[in-house]
Structure 1
Amino acid sequence: MTDIRILLVDDQALLRMGFRMVLEAEPGFVVVGEASDGVSGVHQAAALRPDVILMDVRMPGMNGIEATRAIVREVPESRVLILTTFDLDEYAFEALRAGASGFLLKDARPAELVAAIGAVASGDAAVSPRVTRQLLELFGSDLPVAGREIGDPLPSGGSGHPAARRGPPHATRLAALTDREHEVLVAIAEGLTNTEIASRLVVSESTVKSHVGRVLTKLQARDRVQAVILAYEAGLVSPTER
């Protein structure tokens, strides 16, 4: 199995050292570089092409949100895991909108850090759709519709669905979804797990998993978290819906 290659981006040298010690003691993990600010982090990401980037939010100069947006655009194969002090705060929300695949508290236990990096490296998200929904309900009231790109870019819209009538650039990819895939996308946006979606649609979990995979592929979403945000920005689900 290939090692998971990790880049550390944080302006606190002691914190980077702590993360490096934890990660390099873990089989299958290798820290390939460090950066002390966002600009350097973007340059290092482009040069090293790591699998996962641990990104601090608050840094001098280019902050972690801006750096994440640049990395998603320039190094799309690298996944960003945001380091934050508070889990349900606006910085975490904006980082997810910028294209991060999850966030982690800076005081997380080593096992949580390792699990989150493993999840992100495998293409999953390190924050559940349900938590993403909570963030949207707290900070999503000003979400623009149809035309706002998540990171760069995740279109929404579709020929037969409400978002489709809002026009480009989102229409094409949502239009590619079947009616069942559209149902699955809405369920994901509501924070439902695969088990809950299977119960709602009266299908097997394996069928739901297949639908989810096709939805992410057609939307070119990096993971379920980005699909949730896309659905909200497309107007398919509102933050106040239950």
Structure 2
Amino acid sequence: MSNKIGVLLVDDEAMVRQGFKALLSTENSIKAIYEAGNASEFKKQLATVPIDVILLDIRLKDTNGLELMEVIKKSAQQPKVIAVTGLDGAEMIINLLKAGVNGIVHKLDGFDEVLKAIKTVMLSDCYFPPNILKIIQDNLHRWEKIHSVPLTAQEKDILRALADGQTTKEIAPQLKVTLATAETYRIRLMRKVGVQNTAGLLAYAFRNGIL
């Protein structure tokens, strides 16, 4: 993958898309910015242009974030997804996490937070700030109960680093391995524990007293 990022802005408010586009266009790390204001435009963009990250408004007039996540799962592309929301409901956040979003940011948190989320998910697959981690911790019963498996000290260190918001790039030197190896460790850890995404991995860690 190129260091330059292709971003798809999904929001039914043109002004919001234009605002994000104006801000993102000043970033050297962004190679292209695409837009979609409804489900049809979203599907067309996903099928025709190279996308690394989707900034996904969770409520559109003709669809919602959960429905679009199903479309993404079936697509040839597997872009990272950052849900952008103006709502605080734990139920919605949990559903998004279980659907596999890579990050969640609040619209009121500002552009710097959005940019941080984009850069972090590209480096470590996930971006869950403290308020999202708290929702995971408070709702462990909403994740499938998975039998505890023995983890090495290194695997526990990876879990703690992810919970602290560290990227795979930051974790790699701590483990004295390459970036690619650190990412492989994270993927193997998910398979070992038996979860589908990093949110599930963190839920497992909370439930088993690792975090």
Cα distance 1:220–1:11, how it changes in 2: closer, same or farther (>3 A)? farther
Correspondence for 2:183 among 208, 213, 216: 213
SS of match in other structure, 2:207: coil
Cα distance 1:43–1:182, how it changes in 2: closer, same or farther (>3 A)? farther
Distance 2:162 2:81 in 1: 23
Distance 1:29 1:9 in 2: 16
Look up the match of 1:149. none
Look up the match of 2:135. 135
Q: Deviations over 1:24-50 (max 9, x none)?
A: 122231443211124532332232131
Correspondence for 1:227 among 192, 198, 207: 198
Q: What pairs with 1:97-136 in structure 2 (closer than 5 Å)?
A: 97-128=98-129, 131-136=131-136
Look up the match of 2:152. 180
Cα offset, 1:2, TM superposition: 4.0
For the 8 Å contact 1:7–1:52, the answer to whether it is kept is: yes
Cα offset, 1:230, TM superposition: 4.2
Q: Which stretches in structure 1 are left out of the alignment for 5+ residues? A: 146-156, 165-177, 195-203
Cα distance 1:2–1:213, how it changes in 2: closer, same or farther (>3 A)? closer
Look up the match of 1:16. 17
TM-score computed with the length of structure 2 as normaliser: 0.72
List 4+ stretches of structure 1 deviating above 4 A: 185-190, 207-212, 239-242
SS of match in other structure, 2:109: coil
Cα distance 1:21–1:102, how it changes in 2: closer, same or farther (>3 A)? same
Give the count of matched residue pairs. 200
Cα offset, 1:184, TM superposition: 1.9
For the 8 Å contact 1:83–1:106, the answer to whether it is kept is: yes
Deviates most, 204-213 or 16-25: 204-213
Cα offset, 1:51, TM superposition: 0.8
Cα offset, 1:236, TM superposition: 6.7
For the 8 Å contact 1:119–1:125, the answer to whether it is kept is: yes
Q: What pairs with 1:122-201 in structure 2 (closer than 5 Å)?
A: 122-128=123-129, 131-145=131-145, 162=147, 179-180=151-152, 184=156, 187-188=159-160, 191=163
Distance 1:8 1:190 in 2: 26
Cα distance 1:131–1:46, how it changes in 2: closer, same or farther (>3 A)? farther
For the 8 Å contact 2:46–2:77, the answer to whether it is kept is: no
Distance 2:165 2:57 in 1: 28
Correspondence for 1:238 among 199, 207, 210: 207
Cα distance 1:163–1:66, how it changes in 2: closer, same or farther (>3 A)? farther
Look up the match of 1:33. 34
Distance 2:191 2:144 in 1: 20
Q: Deviations over 1:80-100 (max 9, x none)?
A: 111011456332322222111
| Backbone CA RMSD of aligned residues | 3.8
